[in-house]
């Protein structure tokens, strides 16, 4: 068992070399690789995952129908509820025995989990070959925006992982952990003390820190080389506020608890590259047919690498906007497809108003157009009640609530506003602050 860190790091370095070269291959070769990987995982799932064999037979699909990438639309989609109802049947027969024996589970399987901010978390098993490949894909995204592996990454998380990696022994890919349970004020104090070159954190918390910095006119005493945001919505107002406070550029990444990272901004920051060697991403309408350029739809994920618990045309629960046609051509030299224009947020925090979809992002931007420039508000959180058309806005301010209330319209995008001076609500485990929720 002592040799496992050495073996895993050797595999990761080998994978990293591979994934760094794949991104510069011709687009046609990347598409051929995708089709090959799609066929492989579909055939594997049909033979080794009991659920898929039954489900696909019931819906008239067979792996032999996959001739082109467009044929992925012939595969019936799945969602979180389907997985939960058939959980054991989603685990490959090659790995099922390991889930019952702790000694084997830790050696052969790695468990990831959704955040649970919208309900009970969904736990997904990954075989370690998949985990190591996805770790390398994650590192590639960081390196493509200028991250140097010899420098530590300031990393906010709910617990510290032990630094047993051979990487760390040579000073590579180190992380400085900051507890997400701390207040933004306390986190900011530590950031100013450490003066990190690279920061990796939720946009909501960084946005709040930035409001504090700008409101109090704080000289933070350093300039990070870059900031990476992930796991939440990043609006343009939030990006600008963070960049003004920290005097550096912000790059956003998109992923899920089920599959680590799967899309990211390059230095151009004009849409999200897809990790096409690891996943296949679709944006579809309600009938699960691909939307047109620039249109908003549901995000479907297919993982090419996880054989322990394959996810094929899995409905994540997010909305996203497909990139415009001219957005798909970047000058960055990276040929991984630019498929996503914007991340639009969760289903459960979006609404349909007169048959028009108002995504979580659209709603948040409407409220931020009002709240962002009210400097007396330190923190805020919005809770929408769609049935009675109200928006309760919780704010933290040192000013009298009446004075702040005067600056907020009685109605914003059709919702009657009610302002309450109250501490914001932070998820105790994940540390996430959902700036806009639908109740």
The pLDDT tens digits for 268-318 are 999 999 999 999 999 999 999 999 999 999 999 999 999 999 999 999 999
pLDDT at 428: 73
Count CB-CB contacts under 10 A for residue 389: 12
* Topology at the third CATH level for domain 4-344: Rossmann fold (3.40.50)
The CA-CA-CA angle for residues 78, 300, 385, to 5°, reads: 90
Question: For residues 307-331, b (16+ Cβ closer than 10 Å) or e, as one string?
Answer: bbbbbbbbbbbbbbbbbeeebbebe
Integer CA distances (angstroms), 102 to 59, 307, 382, in order: 36, 19, 43
Q: Is the pLDDT of residue 245 over 90?
A: yes
Nearest C-alpha neighbor of 439 from the set 386, 363, 394, 402:
386
Report DSSP letters for 185-216, one per residue: HHHHHHHHHH--SEEEE-HHHHHHHHHHHHHH
Nearest to 372 by CA among 235, 217, 203, 232: 235
Tokens of 109: 């399987």
User: What is the rounded average pLDDT of the residues 227-251?
Assistant: 97
Q: Under the phi-then-psi rule, with left for phi > 0, alpha for psi from -120 to 50, and beta for the rest, what region is 378?
A: alpha
Length of the chain: 439
Domain with CATH 3.30.300 in the chain: 352-438
The per-residue pLDDT for 2 is 41
Domain 352-438 has CATH 3.40.50: no
Residue 154 and residue 148: Cα distance in Å, rounded?
13
Distance CA(54)–CA(64), nearest Å, equals 16
pLDDT band (50, 70, 90) for residue 169 = low
Q: In this predicted structure, what is the pLDDT of residue 1?
A: 39
Give 290's DSSP letter.
B
Confidence band for 107, pLDDT divided at 50, 70 and 90: low
The answer to whether the pTM exceeds 0.75 is: yes
Q: How confident is the model at residue 100 (pLDDT cuts 50, 70, 90)?
A: low
51, pLDDT greater than 60: yes
CATH 3.40.50.12780 in the chain: give the residue spans: 4-344
What one-character-per-residue DSSP string does 219-273 give? --S---SEEEE-SS---HHHHHHHHHHHTS-EEEEEEETTTEEEEE--TT-SSEE
Is residue 161 over pLDDT 90? Answer: no
Q: How far apart are CA 262 and CA 272, in angstroms?
A: 9
Alpha helices per DSSP H over 86-126: 102-108
Question: CA-CA distance, 87 to 84, in Å (whole number)?
Answer: 5
How far apart CA 193 and CA 242 sit, in angstroms, is: 18
């Amino acid at each position: 068992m002592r040799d496992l860190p050495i073996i895993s790091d050797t595999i990761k370095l080998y994978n990293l070399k591979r994934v760094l070269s794949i991104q510069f291959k011709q687009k046609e070769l990347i598409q051929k690789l995708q089709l090959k990987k799609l066929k492989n995982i579909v055939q594997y799932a049909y033979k080794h995952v009991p659920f898929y064999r039954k489900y696909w037979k019931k819906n008239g699909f067979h792996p032999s129908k996959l001739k082109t990438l467009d044929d992925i639309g012939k595969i019936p989609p799945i969602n979180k509820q389907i997985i939960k109802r058939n959980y054991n049947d989603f685990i490959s027969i090659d790995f099922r025995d390991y889930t019952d024996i702790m000694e084997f589970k830790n050696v052969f399987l790695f468990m990831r989990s959704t955040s649970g901010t919208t309900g009970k978390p969904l736990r997904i098993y990954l075989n370690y070959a998949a985990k190591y490949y996805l770790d390398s894909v994650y590192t590639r995204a960081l390196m493509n925006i200028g991250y140097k592996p010899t420098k530590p990454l300031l990393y906010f998380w709910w617990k510290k992982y032990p630094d047993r990696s051979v990487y760390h022994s040579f000073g590579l890919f180190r992380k400085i952990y900051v507890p997400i349970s701390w207040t933004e004020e306390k986190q900011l104090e530590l950031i100013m003390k450490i003066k990190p070159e690279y920061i990796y954190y939720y946009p909501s918390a960084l946005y709040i820190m930035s409001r504090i910095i700008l409101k109090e006119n704080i000289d933070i005493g350093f300039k990070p080389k870059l900031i990476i945001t992930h796991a939440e919505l990043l609006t343009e107002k939030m990006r600008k506020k963070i960049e003004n406070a920290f005097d550096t550029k912000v790059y956003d990444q998109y992923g899920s608890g089920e599959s680590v990272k799967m899309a990211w901004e390059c230095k151009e920051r004009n849409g999200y590259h897809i990790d096409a060697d690891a996943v296949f991403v679709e944006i579809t309408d309600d009938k699960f047919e691909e939307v047109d350029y620039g249109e908003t739809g549901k995000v479907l994920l297919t993982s090419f690498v996880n054989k322990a618990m394959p996810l094929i045309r899995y409905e994540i629960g997010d909305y996203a906007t497909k990139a415009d046609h001219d957005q798909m051509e970047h000058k960055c030299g990276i040929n991984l497809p630019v498929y996503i224009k914007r991340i639009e947020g969760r289903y459960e925090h979006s609404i349909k108003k007169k048959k028009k979809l108002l995504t979580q992002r659209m709603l948040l931007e409407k409220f931020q157009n009002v709240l962002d420039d009210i400097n007396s508000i330190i923190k805020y959180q919005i809770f929408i009640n769609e049935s009675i058309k109200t928006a309760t806005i919780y704010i933290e301010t040192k000013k009298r609530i009446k004075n702040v209330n005067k600056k907020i319209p009685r109605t914003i995008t059709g919702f009657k506003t009610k302002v309450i001076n109250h501490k914001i609500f932070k998820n105790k485990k994940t540390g996430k602050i959902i700036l806009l929720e639908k109740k």
